[in-house]
Amino acid sequence: MVLRPHLKEFLTEVMQLFEVVFWTAAEAEYAAAVVDAIERHVLGLPRSLYHHEEIVQYNLNHAAPRRVTSHANFYCLCERQSLQSFDRMKYLPLLGRPVHRTIIIDDSERSFPFTPRNAIKVPPFTVRVHRYTCVYPSAHTCADGTATSLLTRDLTKEGLYTITDSPLGTADLRHLWDTALLDLLPLLRAVAATPEDDITRELDHWRAPNYTDCDNFSENFPGGKNTHVGAVLPTRRATPIPPLRPHEDNAKWEPRIKEGLRKWGIPVGPPVAHVSTKKRKRKTRNKRGTSKRKR
């Protein structure tokens, strides 16, 4: 696995500003391996991801429960915590956090359609490495010498590369100058410092004027007209774009969203608000009390 340049600087600061969720559309084993490697080998923090058998065994042999996760302000989600009916969409209400206080950073727009005002898209980072980087041990030895089964992959330090020491091809040399993560820090600092309760209003200062097109959820899916969903500007505009005004077609997605939320036991809120663009004919009453249409 090749680390994106400036990952350590980015996470070190962001973890001071926000509660962080590592969220992948891949399986749980992959998610745990990557987050564990980042925590221990990149950030230099104590290990905080454990197999449940390790925790049970530790608590049986120690009077006090394990407390080595007190340093962590993040948690990890995988494809099991996603809307399966929408191609494993990372749907923000599934986090259990106030959506108006949450942002999502991703290199794919497939998780943005229903929460475009919360979305920040970064360019993809793909580097080809022609070496195996994961090992799959069948067991793990705890501190007390007890061997337990390990269901997650153990991504070793030797399996992590920085962009300068990985076996790159010529086509990948452009990644040496990748600053996508550092470029996001001014925006994220502004979001963390905003006095607004709804932090998406601060994000609206970093959007192009035509970003209001993304209020039509139907056009935010891959292949839709809104190819700029999640896009942010490099600098803050003095005037934000207008507040979210949901499109009238947004309501048609409500039944499928509710179905996905019920699967996870999440209470379903009020219907999705929509604004009708059809002009209604005004009615007036004549002296006899009957109504007639005003032409």
Q: Which of 16, 6, 258, 229 is nearest to 118 (CA)?
A: 229
CATH code for position 194: 3.40.50
> Is residue 160 a part of any domain in this protein?
no
176: its two tokens: 């040496």
Give the 3-state secondary structure percentages of the chain, helix then strand then coil, rounded to 5.
40, 10, 50
User: What span, in angstroms and rounded, lies between the C-alpha atoms of 118 and 200?
Assistant: 6
Which amino acid appears at position 194 of this protein? T
Q: Give the range of the structural domain holding residue 243, as residue numbers without chain letter.
A: 7-26+78-132+175-264
User: What span, in angstroms and rounded, lies between the C-alpha atoms of 40 and 223?
Assistant: 39
- The tens place of each residue's pLDDT in the chain, 295 residues long, gives 678 889 999 999 999 999 999 998 888 888 888 888 888 888 888 777 665 566 666 667 766 665 556 666 777 888 888 887 788 899 998 888 899 999 999 999 989 999 999 999 999 987 765 443 333 333 333 344 433 333 334 455 555 555 455 455 544 556 678 899 999 999 999 999 999 999 999 999 999 999 999 999 999 998 899 999 999 999 999 999 999 998 999 999 988 888 877 776 666 655 444 444 444 444 444 445 544 444 4
> Is residue 61 a part of any domain in this protein?
no
Q: Which of 53, 89, 47 is nearest to 69 (CA)?
A: 47
> Is residue 94 a part of any domain in this protein?
yes
> Is residue 45 a part of any domain in this protein?
no
Q: How many structural domains is the chain composed of?
A: 1
User: What span, in angstroms and rounded, lies between the C-alpha atoms of 250 and 216?
Assistant: 7
Residue that has been written with the tokens 């009077």 in this structure: 63
> Is residue 124 a part of any domain in this protein?
yes
Q: Which of 198, 228, 193 is nearest to 213 (CA)?
A: 228
Task: Collect all residues with Cβ–Cβ distance below 8 Å to 257 and sequence separation of at least 6.
Answer: 83, 91, 114, 272
Torsion of CA 72, 26, 228, 232, to 10 degrees: 10
Under a CB-based contact definition with an 8 Å cutoff, are residues 51 and 82 in contact?
A: no
